Amino acid sequence: MNYETIIRESKERMEKALEVLKDKFRGMRTGRASPSLVDSIRVDYYGSSTPLKQIANISAPEADMIVIKPFDQGALGEIEKAIQKSDLGINPTNDGKLVRLKLPPLSQERRNQLAHLAKSTSEETRVALRNIRRDANKHVDALAKTISEDDLKKLKDDVQNLLKSFEERVDQGLEAKTKELTTL
């Protein structure tokens, strides 16, 4: 492995870790209805676990309601079961054609719990980023016999700077999500 490969692969892995964090943040409920709250819920659809967004049209016609219209009406019951099993804490209503989710207003206590969850989720992402740095540094150490000490130090510094830039992005995302969750 060479310098460019180590940096490129580390950056790609860190981008993926950041995308996972963003997906988790999208699934955290704020006071407003958003299709992203439910589109990653997995539904048992003809024996396979399928993301809800692949088998239904999801919309938020009102600020406190999500409407799910399945492409196949036979999937209504499974969609309803999947939503009940999820950790959303919302009871779906099924009228035979649509599934409606009425979002209750969040209490301040629940907002604080979600903010705490966002913080712990971002910490998990930081740990993942640090593990990526550790792996990159192992590859750098493997190059120790073929490059100079100055180049070795520069490469480790570059990996560390890459980590710092991604940790800053995690902090920015956490700050924005916490603000979104805690403001009424």
Give 149-158 pLDDT, tens digit per residue.
898 899 999 9
Q: Look over the chain and give the mean of its residue pLDDT values, rounded to a whole number.
A: 88
Q: What is the pLDDT of residue 165?
A: 96
Average pLDDT (92-120) is 87
Q: Which range, 28-32, 72-76, 122-126, 148-152, has the best average confidence (pLDDT)? A: 122-126
- Tell me the pLDDT tens digit for each residue of 122-132: 999 999 999 99
Q: How confident is the model at residue 29 (pLDDT cuts 50, 70, 90)?
A: low
Residue 102, strand partner residues: 65
Q: Put the strands of the sheet holding 92-94 in their side by side order.
A: 56-62, 65-70, 99-102, 92-94
Q: What is the pLDDT of residue 31?
A: 65
Which residue segments constitute the domains of the chain, with CATH numbers given?
Answer: 3-26+107-182 (1.10.132.20), 35-102 (3.30.1360.40)
Output the pLDDT for position 30.
66
Note the residue count of the chain. Answer: 184
Average pLDDT over residues 149-175: 94
- With a pLDDT cut of 70, the percent of the chain lying above it is 98
Burial 43-63 (b: 16+ CB within 10 A, else e): bebeeeebebbebbebebeee
* pLDDT of the residue at 133: 95
pTM greater than 0.85: no
